[in-house]
Amino acid sequence: AQSVTQPDIHITVSEGASLELRCNYSYGATPYLFWYVQSPGQGLQLLLKYFSGDTLVQGIKGFEAEFKRSQSSFNLRKPSVHWSDAAEYFCAVGALGGSQGNLIFGKGTKLSVKP
Amino acid sequence: EPEVTQTPSHQVTQMGQEVILRCVPISNHLYFYWYRQILGQKVEFLVSFYNNEISEKSEIFDDQFSVERPDGSNFTLKIRSTKLEDSAMYFCASSGGTVNQPQHFGDGTRLSIL
């Protein structure tokens, strides 16, 4: 069955520290992978996506993610966290473009940032 | 940057009543979606819509639900005879018609059933 696992429900980091949010997936075909961020009361904003090519993808707000097929992972990283990064982060797997199907989301990781 | 817009931001309805959630997708997008997120749970796919018909739907999307694109800009989700368990955040999303175009989401409508 297709699924996405985000093993960390809540992470707290200090401002300026590095961040890594974990995501593992199970998908029958070649996955297309996404990270979305949700600030309180807001919708889901796309941070970055992977569909082919270079396994290290850059996104907005200084985030990057690395696709590791052998580990079925797509972890999100940021070298230096800002207080404004406090939000909930969702990893998702699905298809891109055309008659794409639905996105399958993980349960999310809530990020808190300490001053 | 173009956005997906949803109205209202919060809808409160009595159990058993019908609600219509409205979405204006990004103007040149061809695929439209509804998802929901029950409080504390993951975002779940409901339905996708293309070329004026449903292209895929989940088990959640039963006869209580329907979608419509009544004109060239709006995309609506109707929930008939609402139940307490329909309380959730409902997200609309849209995507373009070519490869490598991800889904873009609106800010959601929080539906509260009393």
A16-29: average pLDDT: 92
Kindly list the residues from chain B whose CB atom is less than 8 angstroms away from the CB atom of residue A40: none
Question: Which helix (H) or strand (E) covers residue B29, if one does?
Answer: none
Per the CB < 8 A criterion, the answer to whether A78 and A14 are in contact is no
What are the structure tokens assigned to B9, written together?
Answer: 């931001």
d(CA B33, CA A103): 10
Instruction: List pLDDT tens digits, range A46-76.
Output: 999 998 888 899 999 999 999 999 999 999 9
At B44, which amino acid appears? E
d(CA A32, CA B27): 24
Instruction: List pLDDT tens digits, range B6-47.
Output: 999 999 999 999 999 999 999 989 889 999 999 888 899 999
Instruction: List pLDDT tens digits, range A83-108.
Output: 999 999 999 998 654 445 688 899 99
Confidence of residue B98 (pLDDT cuts 50, 70, 90): low
Report the residue of B26, B30, B38, B43 to disrupt the A interface, i.e. the one with the largest count of A CBs within 10 Å. Answer: B43
pLDDT exceeds 80 at position B103: yes
What per-residue confidence (pLDDT) applies to B68? Answer: 95
d(CA A49, CA A96): 10
Determine whether the interchain pair A96/B101 forms a contact, defined as Cβ–Cβ distance below 8 Å. yes
Nearest to B45 among A43, A103, A107 (CB): A103
What per-residue confidence (pLDDT) applies to B64? Answer: 96
* Closest alpha carbon to B4 in A90, A42, A50, A101: A42
Partners of B56 in beta bridges: B48
Instruction: Give the chain B residue whose CA is nearest to the CA of A37.
Output: B105
The whole-chain average pLDDT of chain B stands at 92
DSSP per residue over A36-103, as a string? EEE-TT---EEEEEE-SS-SEEE-GGG-EEEEEGGGTEEEEEESS--GGG-EEEEEEEE--SSS----
What per-residue confidence (pLDDT) applies to A74? Answer: 96
What per-residue confidence (pLDDT) applies to A101? Answer: 64
What per-residue confidence (pLDDT) applies to A29? Answer: 73
Terminal-to-terminal C-alpha distance of chain A: 41
Collect all residues from A whose CB is shorter than 8 A from any CB in B: 34, 36, 41-46, 49, 51, 90, 92, 94, 96-108
* Closest alpha carbon to B72 in B28, B17, B14: B28
Determine whether the interchain pair A96/B43 forms a contact, defined as Cβ–Cβ distance below 8 Å. no
What per-residue confidence (pLDDT) applies to A23? Answer: 97
- Cα-atom radius of gyration of chain A, to the nearest Å? 14
